[in-house]
Structure 1
Amino acid sequence: MQHRPVAPEATEDATPAAPGRRRRLWWPAALAAAVALGLGVPALVAGGPAASGSAAAVPAQDSVEAGFARDMATHHQQAIDLSFIVRDRTQDTEVRNLAFDIINTQANQRGMMMGWLDQWGLTQHSGATPMAWMKMDHRYEPHDGSLMPGMATNTELAKLRSLSDREAEVYYLQLMIEHHKGGVEMAQGYLDLGVNAVEKRLAQSMVNGQRSEIDLITMLLEQRGAKPLS
């Protein structure tokens, strides 16, 4: 199911953005809205059997298309979780608006990918090794709840929950840069291997959007006298 982005003003505990910052911090939500309009219901049709009028057009259970949709949906879910955590750990306007943007954008995209799997008649989960569809020479070793590159470990999630104010902001921003790096790698992997045009457009929007957001997050870290983890 596709979700419409929810602006911070519509949320009970949202904090208004500072003048002059809203446009820069809100672009991910705007991107989500544009993607939703351009890739919403038509995308579910274009990505399924109707794409070519034959059952052969439906991706297989172990296809690159299905693997990317499942893994990126899992990856996105943790970004959403991280953003909800920091929302409750700080009152900083910029970081809270960034968190809302990430929640809206990635929940929207996650809904699209889950919708495609449903349209294709495929399961939303499988027993495949995460990212096996990328056919990489090296394999990421899942550990402590981190299933794919960029995903925070259970220990890191617990640490974020234990922090507040400036410390929570900095740690969230550091974790989110790593998370976006992993997301960009996966989306680029699909661009290199995938064949579904609609899914590739979404993957390209992820690459473009998350790279730009990494620049923004790096700037927010600098303002707080901190640097990325790597």
Structure 2
Amino acid sequence: MPRRPALLATLSLVAVLLIAAALALTLRSPRPGENSPEVRFVREMTQHHAQAVDMATRIRDRAKDRTLRSVALDITLSQQEQIGQMRGWLTLWGLPWGGQGMTAEHARVMGMATPQEVNRLDTLPGVDAERLFLQLMIRHHQGALSMVQPILREKVRPEVLTLARQINTTQSGEIRLMTQMLRQRGAKPLPFPQAGQGENTNGMDMPGMEAEPGQHQH
């Protein structure tokens, strides 16, 4: 098999050249401005992810159910990695990580939990805390899906579009899994928040967002 090493070396060289070409193209692309859809999405999704990591970390330390601990760990690791990725982009674009974040009302409409709801994860008994976590995280994921929809429709930088697609796919699947786990615990998802004056959720119907009467809350 004398030709195999040469073939592998050629394929490796081609792969390196393709990566280098893609990186060069990315670096030549105009940097997104402060008010661009990319920068707004990255900053708001970073804020959104940070709360998901916080909630997942809290329940991972308390949950007795192995599957739930696994889900919480997956959320923690994947969203921490994406936070690092998004902050890296802001650095490359010459922009600060901070900036104007979501208002409390915007965060609510995007499915984020209130500080009081997050703190209840530490004070409720174990099974009740697991149930609340699933309800809060399903709603939180639904908010993330509403955030990616405009990015999926707009002409944005390819790396941002790729991340939006990844979030859409991953969190849609996690919503289905967590909804099943919640039903096994005799509860239903929380109703998704309605937009108040000046807020817009783009009217998107997303997996796991069906309205269900008589929500069971704990």
| TM-score w.r.t. length of structure 2 | 0.73
Shift of 1:179: 0.2
> Which has the greater radius of gyration?
2
Aligned length: 172
Shift of 1:146: 4.3
After TM superposition, the structure 1 = structure 2 runs for residues 173-192 of structure 1, keeping only pairs within 5 Å, are 173-192=134-153
Give the residue type in structure 2 aligned to 1:64: P
Give the residue type in structure 2 aligned to 1:142: A
- Tell me, which stretches of 5 or more residues in structure 2 are unaligned? 1-18, 192-218
Give SS of 1:226's match. Answer: coil
1:194 and 1:178, CA in 2 relative to 1: closer, same or farther beyond 3 A?
Answer: farther
Match of 1:95 in 2: 68
Q: Distance in 2 between matches of 1:125 and 1:147?
A: 19
Percent identity, aligned pairs only, is 39
| TM-score w.r.t. length of structure 1 | 0.69
Give SS of 1:122's match. Answer: coil
Q: Distance in 1 between matches of 2:170 and 2:189?
A: 18
Match of 2:185 in 1: 224
| Residue number among 165, 186, 190 corresponding to 2:126 in the alignment | 165
- Tell me, which stretches of 5 or more residues in structure 1 are unaligned? 1-41, 131-140
- CA distances 1:156-205 after superposition (whole Å, capped 9, x unpaired): 11212211321111000000000000001101121123411121011011
Q: Distance in 2 between matches of 1:53 and 1:117?
A: 13
Q: Distance in 1 between matches of 2:185 and 2:63?
A: 14
Q: Distance in 1 between matches of 2:110 and 2:27?
A: 37
| Residue number among 79, 86, 91 corresponding to 1:118 in the alignment | 91
Match of 1:60 in 2: 33
Of structures 1 and 2, the one scoring higher in RCO (CA 8 A, sep 6+) is: 1
